[in-house]
């Protein structure tokens, strides 16, 4: 991000066109109401499932003595992982001066805000007595990675919200006179969120300074959020978790899931909001290359994570790996590794596959696989404790998620989609001022749609 803003773009006619394009889909239309109503209905069904869990306790889930972290904690890791892409795109690539990320930076931020907010909620779904949540703060031990996790998730969410908010202030100022077609309350919200921004150079100076601080802070926080999440597992000696590379392994996996999520939203914005002028073929090509890069890093960590213990085959590790490679979890394991990592990597090498449509298919498969990948990290280890499993009913020995548990998990995903929908539909999804400034500075460059 530049340290100064050339405010010439404000008088440039291109601004009107860009603002008109970006603000056209903004507002409450029929499709949006139908979409949100269906999501709300689904959410209510899932909330009823949660009511049952609150009433009867965790016995309604498949969680028992051995597998006490099942779908919920896998889901938590998935949410934390996916939210990390906000840092990668806005912060790392943005600060390195890659201008092509400007139109998709806000999409990445929306994912960061929605997914980090829901991550905290998912943890509560795994609690048998959620009303005791304040105890974490009242009696928490600083020695426990769980307290660190609560700290960094809260911090990352705050930073993501602030980054989303700050970069949108000039857009709110630009847009507030141009959204006559939207409800009054939305116009008032824009007015409020513009913070009296009048594009004064002093205001831009302060804004850029604040954004710079946020961009710098968010890098170590994002590293911390997922490294600490990995430590929840890696600080134990259990097979499959007792690993020194768990931090980078989780981080690299997070970027794979996050890039896939960004590509899916990019495709949606490009096609449904008719913004192909701003999110171009080139963006998909570049995101495809980025996804390939993070995938090959993740592949490298997977190789280390599985090959090294498999070569040594220590008793418990050997049993664990056997379950993954050829046992109970083999089908899921190989599906995830092939469909979620190896095949996408091969496909992304071809230019034809980095076009919007093939890319979104690849991204959907990768995102689904990355959800199951988290399940494979959590469940097989919990099913194989060091001490023999005895004196419990047979049904407790193996983890079978129940319908209620699945419904609650679907509920958290629904909630994330709802937040994303609201942010994408009611606010400019592409930073108008940044694009206008860019186009004003380089008027000769025309995007290839």
- What is the contact surface with another protein in residues (CB under 8 A)? 139-143, 148, 151, 155, 158-159, 162, 166, 169, 195-198, 200, 202-203, 206-207, 209-210, 213-214, 217, 221, 391, 393-394
- Taking the least distance from each CB to another protein, the nearer of 180 and 393 is 393
Backbone angles phi, psi at 64, to 5 degrees: -135, -160
CA within 13 Å, CB half, 93: 20
The stretches of 3-101 forming alpha helices (DSSP H) are: 13-23, 30-56, 71-83, 85-86, 94-95
CB atoms near residue 99 (< 10 Å):
12
CA 273 vs CA 23, 184, 270, 431: distances in Å: 9, 22, 6, 14
Work out how close the CB of 155 gets to another protein at its nearest, in angstroms, rounded to a whole number.
Answer: 6
Tokens, residue 61: 């889930």
- Taking the least distance from each CB to another protein, the nearer of 162 and 343 is 162
- Taking the least distance from each CB to another protein, the nearer of 331 and 386 is 386
- Taking the least distance from each CB to another protein, the nearer of 48 and 195 is 195
- Taking the least distance from each CB to another protein, the nearer of 114 and 207 is 207
CA distance 122 to 80: 10
Work out how close the CB of 227 gets to another protein at its nearest, in angstroms, rounded to a whole number.
Answer: 13
125, with CB counted inside 10 A (0-12, 13-18, 19+), is buried
How many residues appear in the chain? 449
Work out how close the CB of 163 gets to another protein at its nearest, in angstroms, rounded to a whole number.
Answer: 9
Work out how close the CB of 196 gets to another protein at its nearest, in angstroms, rounded to a whole number.
Answer: 3
Work out how close the CB of 206 gets to another protein at its nearest, in angstroms, rounded to a whole number.
Answer: 5
Work out how close the CB of 156 gets to another protein at its nearest, in angstroms, rounded to a whole number.
Answer: 10
Work out how close the CB of 389 gets to another protein at its nearest, in angstroms, rounded to a whole number.
Answer: 13
- Taking the least distance from each CB to another protein, the nearer of 64 and 283 is 64
- Taking the least distance from each CB to another protein, the nearer of 176 and 277 is 176
In the DSSP assignment, the letter for residue 403 is H
CA distance 417 to 36: 10
Rg, the chain, Cα only: 23
Q: In sequence order, what are the residues at sequence separation of 6 or more whose Cβ sits closer than 8 angstroms to the Cβ of residue 24?
A: 273, 274
């Amino acid at each position: 991000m530049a340290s100064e803003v050339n405010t010439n773009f404000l008088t440039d006619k291109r601004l009107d066109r860009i603002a008109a394009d970006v603000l056209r889909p903004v507002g409450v239309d029929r499709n949006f109401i139908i979409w949100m109503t269906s999501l709300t209905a689904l959410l209510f069904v899932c909330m009823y499932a949660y009511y049952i869990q609150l009433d009867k306790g965790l016995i309604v889930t498949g969680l028992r003595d051995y597998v006490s972290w099942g779908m919920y904690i896998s889901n938590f890791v998935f949410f934390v992982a996916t939210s990390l892409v906000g840092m990668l795109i806005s912060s790392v690539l943005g600060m390195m001066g890659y201008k092509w990320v400007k139109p998709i930076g806000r999409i990445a931020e929306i994912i960061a805000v929605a997914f980090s907010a829901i991550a905290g909620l998912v943890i509560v779904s795994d609690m048998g007595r959620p009303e005791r949540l304040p105890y974490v703060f009242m009696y928490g031990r600083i020695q426990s990675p769980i307290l660190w996790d609560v700290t960094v998730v809260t911090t990352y969410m705050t930073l993501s919200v602030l980054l989303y908010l700050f970069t949108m202030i000039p857009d709110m100022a630009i847009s507030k006179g141009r959204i006559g077609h939207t409800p009054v309350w939305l116009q008032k919200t824009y007015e409020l969120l513009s913070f009296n921004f009048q594009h004064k150079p002093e205001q831009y100076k302060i804004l850029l300074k604040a954004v710079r601080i946020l961009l710098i802070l968010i890098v170590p926080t994002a590293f911390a959020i997922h490294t600490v999440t990995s430590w929840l597992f890696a600080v134990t000696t259990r097979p499959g978790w007792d690993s020194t590379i768990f931090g980078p392994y989780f981080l690299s996996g997070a970027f794979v899931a996050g890039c896939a999520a960004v590509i899916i939203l990019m495709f949606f914005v490009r096609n449904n909001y008719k913004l192909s002028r701003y999110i171009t073929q080139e963006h998909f090509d570049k995101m495809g290359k980025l996804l390939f890069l993070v995938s090959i890093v993740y592949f490298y960590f997977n190789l280390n994570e599985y090959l090294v213990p498999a070569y040594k085959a220590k008793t418990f590790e050997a049993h664990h790996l056997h379950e993954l490679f050829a046992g109970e979890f083999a089908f899921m394991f190989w599906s995830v590794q092939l469909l979620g990592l190896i095949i996408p990597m091969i496909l992304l090498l071809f230019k034809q596959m980095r076009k919007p449509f093939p890319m979104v298919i690849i991204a959907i498969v990768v995102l689904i696989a990355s959800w199951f990948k988290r399940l494979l990290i959590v469940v097989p280890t919990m099913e194989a404790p060091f001490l023999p499993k005895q004196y419990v009913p047979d049904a407790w020995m193996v983890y079978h998620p129940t319908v209620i548990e699945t419904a609650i998990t679907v509920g958290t995903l629904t909630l994330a989609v709802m937040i994303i929908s609201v942010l994408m539909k009611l606010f400019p999804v592409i930073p108008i001022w940044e694009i206008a400034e860019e186009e004003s500075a380089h008027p000769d460059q025309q995007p290839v749609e």
